[in-house]
Structure 1
Amino acid sequence: MSFVIRAAGPDDLQPLYEMAKLTGGGFTNLPPERAALAAKLERSATALARTDDAVIDEQFVLVLENVETGLVRGTGQLFTQVGQRWPFYSYRLTTMTQYSRELDRTMRAEMLSLVTDLEGSSEVGGLFLHPGERAGGLGLLLARSRYLFIAAHRQRFAPRILAELRGIIDERGGSPFWDAVGGCFFGMTFQEADEFNALHGNQFIADLMPKHPVYTAMLAEEARRVIGLPHPTGRAAMRMLEHEGFHHHGYVDIFDGGPTMTAMTDQVASVRQAHCAALTDAMLAKGEQALIAAGTLATFRCCFGARQVLDDGTVAIDSHTADLLQVNPGDMVWSIAR
């Protein structure tokens, strides 16, 4: 089967809604709420229509389409500058060391501090692949296509980039971390708080969350155990992020305690190594397997294909990939080895 990543449009609302119902909660960027998803698509359309290069608070929504059936089977999102419409809160895990001369004892206390350190960063998020398509490298295509989009529109993104991974959710859809921390101050279940955040933003966190550090030793063991751990379904995503050069520097999600990974945008492997060249008129029968992208903004498309970088600086691709990307000789294409 042939799959292509493309910019989402209004007609993608229903498939996005159907996928959102499959996430199982804790997935703020893909809420199972039509109005919220429609607002995301409208916001993406506005960003795709803007042509100047200033870095402002924007969102791009991409989808994975099976071109043979026309079915949308995955999605991913990019945020150009978080923390502009409302604060971007994280907990940062730090350690305080204290010494008592009388006791001759050193104590180290682990603390969670509410911070907005990551405000102004770009973000890759909202990654979801339909359960029926989790094979054949489509998750890799969906994830890494976002970096080719960044490379092709580098001026629209901030110097630093982050990715939030969903934390541990129990079998009833609750969060041990939320129950031990946020739930004490809001009188809301994790699912209620997560849904409210997805639809209305997190200003309520600023209004009610205590500003003093939380000592992790005072939390229940089940809550301490999950701080900074990804949901089991996100472990592969975490490995992919680490392979791209993201690191976990102690930032965790304020709702479920999942890890927030960060990197300098220009140092992300798929951004740094992305190759841009004009397409030659020669078509390959076979070549190096790669992710290949073409088009800008609303015409952006990305897929797997074969490429060969020629001595004159141009690049040749196979005819099937050229058809999927809707490109002609002379067009500029971005590519990265698979």
Structure 2
Amino acid sequence: MTFLIRAATPDDLQHIYEMAKRTGGGFTNLPPDRKALTAKLERSAEGFARTEDTLGNDLFVFVLENTATGEVRGTCQVFSAVGLKWPFYSYRIGALTQHSEELGRTFRADILNLSTDLEGATEVGGLFLHPGERSGGLGMLIARSRYLFIRNHRPRFADRTLAELRGVIDEAGGSPFWDGVAGRFFGMNFQDADEFNAKYGNQFIADLMPKHPVYIAMLTEHARAVIGVPHPTGRAAMRMLENEGFAWENYIDIFDGGPTMTVRTDQIRSIREAQDSQVTLLDAGLGDHLRGEKRLVACGKLADFRTTYGWVEPDGDGIALDPASAARLGIEPGMTVTHVARW
């Protein structure tokens, strides 16, 4: 295992752009647009450089690097708080119950309410792993490294965390949900709206989206069928989120109808179970079929933050760590790392 999670730099632009072209649409946080990606990397650099240990309008972009080849093979993002610059919209699924005495019947109508309930929450997103690396637990390494970063910079993040899962996209790159709801009001197809949102933000939603509830029963069958359903490629990501404690509480994305998962930040499993330990020994005897437990190991602050898989074993009041992972992290005996079980 030669992979490492680290802060993205401007030199990673081409790698990230190539990955963005592979997403297949509906991936708002990773648009295949150099200008938009450059702006993200610049904003990320500002967030990593900010010295105030407080909640701000920060974006942190990370990459997965193969340290043996220098190739970047994955990426992910953390937004410290959404909705600080412009509103963060979701649809919340609710219900309206009405009763008719004359008919002796009660009617329950499911409705979509345009909502900004999730404003101010931290968001984890923008996760993409190169198709050639989707094995060996690398997706888990990317996803969970974000939680360790949040834990070790806790004052910079909100008390609630969300994750938007991409919704169902058809073979032509369209969205049945967009076509059935928002597309009727905007005069543009899903691809154009998704691209515009990725580049310029979703203020146009505030300007044009009708504010009254949308009755689900009035939507097409295709639109109703995909509400709250993740894209097939996102099902594994949904299971990982659920393992961390995220739950779907009837919030969906306004573009493609995908589920928005939420959790109290301090209840994220990786955050709750992570430990800080001093490395007392580098032990070459740790590793496959030998001794030790394979764990996620992280160290460093802000732009120096790193995460990798390492072999760990208790050693007195601290831990022993295998030399290979210590070298990737730049760790020497006497330094402290954060580590959590791989599950």
Q: TM-score range by the shorter chain?
A: over 0.9
Q: Deviations over 1:298-321 (max 9, x none)?
A: 111111111123442x22211111
1:317 to 297, 302, 321: 321
Q: Distance in 2 between matches of 1:268 and 1:88?
A: 22
Q: How far did 1:194 drift?
A: 0.4
Q: Which residue of 2 aligns with 1:150?
A: 150
Q: Which residue of 2 aligns with 1:259?
A: 259
Q: How far did 1:282 drift?
A: 4.3
Q: Which residue of 2 aligns with 1:198?
A: 198
Question: Does the 8 A contact of 1:5 with 1:65 survive in 2?
Answer: yes
What are the residue-to-residue correspondences of 1:148-297 with 2, within 5 Å?
148-283=148-283, 285-286=285-286, 287-297=292-302
SS in 1 for 2:225: helix
Percent identical residues? 65
Aligned-partner residue type, residue 304 of structure 2: T
Q: Distance in 2 between matches of 1:307 and 1:38?
A: 38
Q: Distance in 2 between matches of 1:315 and 1:82?
A: 38
Change (3 A) 1:167 1:215: same
Change (3 A) 1:51 1:277: farther
Q: Distance in 1 between matches of 2:314 and 2:305?
A: 21
More moved, 67-76 vs 326-335: 326-335
TM-score (norm 2): 0.97
Aligned residues: 337
Q: Which residue of 2 aligns with 1:336?
A: 340
Q: What residue ranges of structure 2 are gaps of 5+ in the alignment?
A: 287-291
Aligned-partner residue type, residue 224 of structure 1: R
Q: Which residue of 1 aligns with 2:70?
A: 70
Q: Deviations over 1:195-242 (max 9, x none)?
A: 000001111000000000000000000000000000000000000000
Q: Deviations over 1:2-53 (max 9, x none)?
A: 1000000010000000000000000000000001000000001011111221
SS in 2 for 1:60: strand
Aligned-partner residue type, residue 82 of structure 2: V
Q: Distance in 2 between matches of 1:326 and 1:21?
A: 33
SS in 2 for 1:170: coil
Q: Distance in 2 between matches of 1:69 and 1:282?
A: 24
For the aligned residue pairs, the C-alpha RMSD in angstroms reads: 0.9
Q: How far did 1:281 drift?
A: 3.0
Question: Does the 8 A contact of 2:282 with 2:326 survive in 1?
Answer: no
TM-score (norm 1): 0.98
Question: Does the 8 A contact of 1:82 with 1:119 survive in 2?
Answer: yes
Q: Which residue of 2 aligns with 1:113?
A: 113
Q: Distance in 2 between matches of 1:188 and 1:18?
A: 26
Aligned-partner residue type, residue 243 of structure 1: N
More moved, 150-159 vs 25-34: 150-159
Q: Distance in 1 between matches of 2:18 and 2:81?
A: 28
Q: How far did 1:284 drift?
A: 5.4
Q: Distance in 2 between matches of 1:115 and 1:24?
A: 27
Q: Which residue of 2 aligns with 1:137?
A: 137
2:306 to 278, 296, 301: 301
More moved, 327-336 vs 76-85: 327-336
Change (3 A) 1:284 1:106: farther
SS in 2 for 1:48: helix
Q: Distance in 1 between matches of 2:157 and 2:316?
A: 31
